[in-house]
Amino acid sequence: MPLTLGQQWNALPGDVRHRLGQASTGWRHLARVGGEALRLAAMASGDEAARLRAFAADVLLWAHGENPLYGPLAAEILAAPGLPLPAAACVSLAAVAAGWRAPTDKEGGQAYFERLAARRDTERLAGFLVERMRRDPGSLYWRDKALGLSLYCGAGKPAEDLETAALAGLRDMPGMVAVAANLWAQAAFLRGDASACLHELVMLGDAPGVTIGPAFGPAFAPARMGLALLDAGRDADAWPLLFSALGRAPWQAGLALVAADALSGARNAVVPPPGPALILLYTWNKAADLDATLASLFASDLCTAGGGRARVMALDNGSTDETPRVLDKWQAHAGLLRADLPVNIGAPAARNWLIATPEARAAETLVFLDDDVDLPPDWLGRLGAALAAMPRAGVVGCKVADHQAPRLLQNVAGQLLFPPDAADHASGHAPEGVPELDFQSLTPNPFRLLDAHLQGPDWGLFDFIGPADSVTGCCHLFPRAALGAPPAEGGGFSLALGPSQYDDFERDLRMLAGGRHAAYQGRLRVRHRKRSGLAGQNIGAAGVAGAASSASGNRYKMQTMHPRAQIAGFISAQALRLGEAVARALDALDRAGGRP
């Protein structure tokens, strides 16, 4: 009798299950998971070693599929001993490894490229990359850079020019037909053309008569086909493909969570949060962004349980631009509540001020929003649905995406970890000779949140309701009792982390210490006007340096506020929560037997 999805999942090593429960996407993250499986295979023997090598091959090929032009990863996969790779994968990997050809130092325009990147000059970068690809069409290095920049550019001519140049002639290059199909499918997905996306992906399956084969593992193509159909609203068509993919890759925890939410109806659930509810914003000298944020906020559904309606309060943190006039307008038109301060007291103090107002003390639900977001109409009900699914949560957050390029994610479910070179994954102990708090380092206690969501465009593998250690302060909802808890259990925001950055993360750490965790609503995408990476070119150099200095300083302070042993305990509790969530999802899918 074949093993169930749950049985196959439970057969994986515990540490591997934990890492995949944190995320089952992100090419660097998956490459580390595959490397860990190979390490375990080297210590095993017989059938167990063969099973681990087969699993490692599947995970590593998926990682290759998420970043198919990156030559160093392809070369590492080919060099790994004993991997059972399908023929189609060997052809693709060899072609990518041979075609990478990264320029060295100042050769081939690399120095000029780096200067443009440092200046965040997207327009000149795009022109430079198009010209480099014209001169050296066989270089996958420049094609890879061009596709990365096209993602940051979002919609518009620069992105289209970069994508066209990067994909031109790729199918005709020896051994590159699978990579070309993968990237053309992604291009179609990013522009919302599900039919064209499926047309390309079907060639990467393992059905009889396919023209290419499973170059990225047997589950990669059906999974992406199912995700593309879900994204297009064709849930019934997506279901057989999702279940087929999980049958081939039961390790795909994110896909299991997405499929289980589609099965249960949680994917489309909207539940008004408990009332009275108060939505809180604080702002400083961002009048245009604030006006756009309030427009989307007051146009949305603000209903609460019992038929009430959430109220909105904004605190002006000493603005000297047009912000007071913007607040005047919305106060007159929509009944906005407001507080006006003569000076900027910083983010954590502004949050605490708002929490202490009589209106906030009378509310059952409090929501904080940044002053530069764009909200979908059902955003509040989406957060309410996640709270209803996890009523003990101390905070509820969502997926945050770049406003100009909404397939680029900024934040998802925050899962704590220690970097592999800085501490033991399980215990958190520092390497030999390194103190538990290294005050000489810029990261004295180097815990952080997993960054798998930053490693490629969003295909929907974070579109589920689930537990998290932390969620971003860009848009998060609190039960009033959670913010009213003692400080050691997550009440209030630390004034030590003024003027801004990391105050929301640090509060969530104290919440974990108090026995609660965060709830994540991946079906709510909030678009954030503050850009990151190359997309942040609208910020001047001084602004970038100042923001980076403030963030680095607050990260340093936050890391000294929470000892390694405490963080390690949080990570152990996280492993149990994530394991239970994945097990529930797989059990529901097993009971459904492939039928929605």
DSSP secondary structure letters along 357-397:
SHHHHT-SEEEEE-SSEE--TTHHHHHHHHHHHSTT-SEEE
Q: Which amino acid is at 480?
A: R
pLDDT at 596 (0 to 100): 64
Beta strand pairing status for 409-411 and 395-402? antiparallel
Using the structure block, give the residue that is written with the tokens 């770049």. 402
Walk along the chain (596 residues) and give the pLDDT tens digit of each residue: 788 999 999 999 999 999 999 999 999 999 999 999 999 999 999 999 999 999 999 999 999 999 999 999 999 999 999 999 999 999 999 999 999 988 876 666 888 888 888 888 888 899 999 999 998 999 999 999 999 999 998 878 888 889 999 999 999 999 999 999 999 999 999 999 999 999 999 999 876 666 788 999 999 999 999 999 999 999 999 999 999 999 999 999 999 999 999 999 999 999 999 999 999 999 999 999 999 999 999 999 999 998 999 999 999 999 999 999 999 999 999 999 999 999 999 999 999 999 999 999 999 999 999 999 999 999 999 999 999 999 999 999 999 999 999 999 999 999 999 987 666 655 566 666 677 788 878 888 999 999 999 999 999 999 999 999 999 999 999 999 999 999 999 999 999 999 989 999 999 999 999 999 999 999 999 999 987 644 443 333 444 445 566 788 999 999 999 999 999 999 999 999 999 999 999 999 999 986 66
Q: Are 393 and 469 in contact (CB under 8 A)?
A: no
The residues pairing with 365 across neighbouring beta strands, listed in sequence order, are 277, 479
Report which of 52, 165, 144, 158 is spatially closest to residue 101, judged by C-alpha positions: 144
pLDDT at 137 (0 to 100): 92
Which long-range CB contacts under 8 A does 112-121 form with residues at least 24 apart?
A: 113/145, 117/534, 119/537, 120/534, 120/536, 120/537, 121/537
Phi, psi (deg, nearest 5) at residue 535? -70, -5
d(CA 60, CA 66): 10
C-alpha R_g of the chain: 24
Q: Are 523 and 584 in contact (CB under 8 A)?
A: no
Report which of 92, 84, 59 is spatially closest to residue 213, judged by C-alpha positions: 92
Q: Are 296 and 370 in contact (CB under 8 A)?
A: no
pLDDT at 220 (0 to 100): 97
Q: What angle do CA 525, 500, 339 make, to 5 degrees?
A: 85
d(CA 350, CA 497): 12
Beta strand pairing status for 518-528 and 395-402? parallel
What dihedral angle (degrees, nearest 10) is formed by the CA atoms of 375, 378, 380, 386?
-120
d(CA 8, CA 310): 46
In angstroms, what CA-CA distances link 87 with 64, 91, 461? 15, 6, 27
Q: What domains, with CATH codes, occur in the chain?
A: 277-566 (3.90.550.10)
Q: Show the DSSP H helices in 23-156 as ranges.
A: 27-43, 46-66, 71-79, 87-99, 110-119, 122-135, 140-153
pTM, two decimals, is: 0.94
Q: Are 418 and 447 in contact (CB under 8 A)?
A: yes
d(CA 495, CA 537): 30
- Listed in order, strand segments (DSSP E) in 295-370 are 311-317, 337-341, 365-369
- Bond into 563 cis (ω within 30): no
Report which of 301, 470, 270, 273 is spatially closest to residue 364, judged by C-alpha positions: 273
Helices (H) and strands (E) in the chain, counts: 24, 12
d(CA 338, CA 352): 15
Q: Are 516 and 492 in contact (CB under 8 A)?
A: no
d(CA 266, CA 588): 13
d(CA 125, CA 129): 6
